[in-house]
């Protein structure tokens, strides 16, 4: 069962462990245009079933959190502050899992704050999103224009959602659910990830880190996931025949199981 509560105005989804609880909490951080809901469908109950205390926050201006009126002006630093509020509220050891923009937020968070372990899923790389944007423009120009239209307030449709996020077959119900819950994103945060506010992590700052990507991701291509791994002198794991939405692709349980196994191998 998933409980939804407010922590200093931030929406937090929580799933209690269904078996003997493990010491650390897992905190999931969503990407752009989304909210904590993106983890609630599958990952929170799945990891609760593995004994983890699993949580997902909605960053300010997202989902049921405060700050929608000022969404366009929220920065990556603001999102880092949101994550810290939730970690402080938990008051215990945390494992951080960040998807897409959420992975960038997690990288910025561990510049100054501790974490037991980090999982980056199709994360924006530490060098920023400029290469990803050029790749999208060259390889998928129509989708590039569609996403920019969404940024300008124009409504998306299920075909755009499917092309941007999925490589495997996906049901109309899932696409419709995404469409009703997706939202605008902070232009300032996107600029931060493109130009202004890159992570700068020394080896001493880094907790154990797992870098995951998807072979057919058109938003954060596999070569950029590999760049992230090389930056941190780590291996990467690219899931074949999957797209950006590792949270909802048909084979998402393979991703969750890989994360669980890695956590177990690292003592978590």
Residue 136 is predicted with a pLDDT of 75
Q: Is the pLDDT of residue 88 over 80?
A: yes
Residue 196 is predicted with a pLDDT of 73
Q: If you average pLDDT over residues 153-163, what whole number do you get?
A: 74
Of the given ranges (5-9, 16-20, 121-125), which has the lowest mean pLDDT?
A: 16-20
Q: Give the pTM.
A: 0.94
**Lookup: tokens for 71:** 């969404």
Q: If you average pLDDT over residues 232-252, what whole number do you get?
A: 97
- Indicate the CATH number for domain 2-265: 3.40.50.1820
Give CA–CA dist 205/191, Å, rounded.
25
**Lookup: tokens for 243:** 């797209």
Distances in Å between the Cα of 221 and the Cα atoms of 60, 69, 106, 125 are: 27, 32, 19, 10
Q: If you average pLDDT over residues 235-251, what whole number do you get?
A: 97
Q: Is the pLDDT of residue 135 over 90?
A: no
Distances in Å between the Cα of 22 and the Cα atoms of 100, 148, 234 are: 26, 42, 26
Q: If you average pLDDT over residues 167-182, what whole number do you get?
A: 91
pLDDT digits (tens, 9 = 90+) for 35-74: 999 999 999 999 999 999 999 999 999 999 999 999 999 9
**Lookup: tokens for 14:** 């929580």
The string of DSSP codes covering 13-64 is EEE--SSSPPSSEEEEE--TT--THHHHTTHHHHHHHTT-EEEEEPPTTSTT
In the chain, what percentage of residues exceed pLDDT 70? 94
Residues 185, 210 contacting (CB under 8 angstroms): no
Q: If you average pLDDT over residues 173-185, what whole number do you get?
A: 89
Q: If you average pLDDT over residues 172-178, what whole number do you get?
A: 91
Q: If you average pLDDT over residues 160-185, what whole number do you get?
A: 90
């Amino acid at each position: 069962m998933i409980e939804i509560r407010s922590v200093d105005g931030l929406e937090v989804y929580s799933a209690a462990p269904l078996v003997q609880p493990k010491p650390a909490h897992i905190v999931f951080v969503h990407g752009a245009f989304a909210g904590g809901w993106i983890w609630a469908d599958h990952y929170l109950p799945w990891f609760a079933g593995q004994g983890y205390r699993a949580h997902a926050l909605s960053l300010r201006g997202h989902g049921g959190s405060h700050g929608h009126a000022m969404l366009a002006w929220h920065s990556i630093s603001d999102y880092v502050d949101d994550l810290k509020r939730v970690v402080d509220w938990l008051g215990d050891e945390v494992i951080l899992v960040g998807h897409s923009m959420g992975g960038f937020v997690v990288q910025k968070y561990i510049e100054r704050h501790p974490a037991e372990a980090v999982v980056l899923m199709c994360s924006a790389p530490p060098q920023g999103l400029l290469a990803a944007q050029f790749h999208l423009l060259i390889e998928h120009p129509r989708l590039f224009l569609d996403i920019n239209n969404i940024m300008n307030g124009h409504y998306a449709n299920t075909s755009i959602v499917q092309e941007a996020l999925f490589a495997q077959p996906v049901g109309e119900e899932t696409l419709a659910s995404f469409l009703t819950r997706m939202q605008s994103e902070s232009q300032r945060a996107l600029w931060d990830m493109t130009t202004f506010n890159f992570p700068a992590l020394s080896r001493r700052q880094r907790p154990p880190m797992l870098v995951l990507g998807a072979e057919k991701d058109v938003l954060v291509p596999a070569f950029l996931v590999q760049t992230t791994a090389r930056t941190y002198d780590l291996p990467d794991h690219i899931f074949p025949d999957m797209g950006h939405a590792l949270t909802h692709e048909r084979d998402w349980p393979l991703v969750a199981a890989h994360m669980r196994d890695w956590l177990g191998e690292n003592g978590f």
